[in-house]
Amino acid sequence: MKTNAVRILDTLGIDYKLLSYTVDPDNLVATATAEKLGLPADQVFKTLVVKGDKQGIALAVLPASFHLTLKSLAKLSGNRKVETVPLKQVQPLTGYIRGGVTAIACKKPYPVFLDEWADLYKQIAVSAGIRGQMVLLKTADYITATNATIGAIATEQ
């Protein structure tokens, strides 16, 4: 099944590989997804929705095994303070449900902040826009597709 995110990648002429996994609705943590895909947890990236006090809604993209550092993201994004949005706001803001959020083909073109860890990998895996499907693509292509700003926004768990 082609998602809007995959269609955008096709339109941009970006090469990717679709990766599928079995979804466990009781365990949607990104590290479990990485394990199911047989990829290192720091090569599989999760997308979190945040709200800054000055710049508003943005997307933070970081390795599955990392924690978002709100203070670092605030500084990088031009905010004094940043917080993750409540789960009930994620779908109305992005068009995606938890476990399927992606910065590619989001409801609105929110600013995207990608943790610098991504630079260590030639390719990263991100959600294809639905649970059970990820896209493996060149890190540089992901940055192009999302117009991401790179920075140190996360720390290892």
Structure confidence at residue 4 as a pLDDT band (50, 70, 90): very high
Pairwise CA distance, residues 54 & 60, whole Å? 16
Taking only the tens place, the pLDDT of each residue in 85-106 is 999 999 999 999 999 999 999 9
pTM: 0.95
Strands 112-115, 133-138: pairing kind: unpaired
Sorted by sequence, the CB contacts under 8 Å of residue 27 that are 6+ apart come out as none
Q: What is the CATH number of the domain that holds 99?
A: 3.90.960.10
Q: Taking all residues of the chain, what is their mean pLDDT, rounded to a whole number? A: 96
Q: What is the mean pLDDT of residues 119-133?
A: 96
- pLDDT tens for each residue of 16-56: 999 999 999 889 899 999 999 999 999 999 999 999 999 99
41's CB contacts (< 8 A; 6+ apart) are 30, 31, 34, 35, 63, 64, 65
State which residues form the domain around 149.
4-156
Closest CA to 48 of 4, 120, 119, 106: 106
Number of domains in the chain: 1
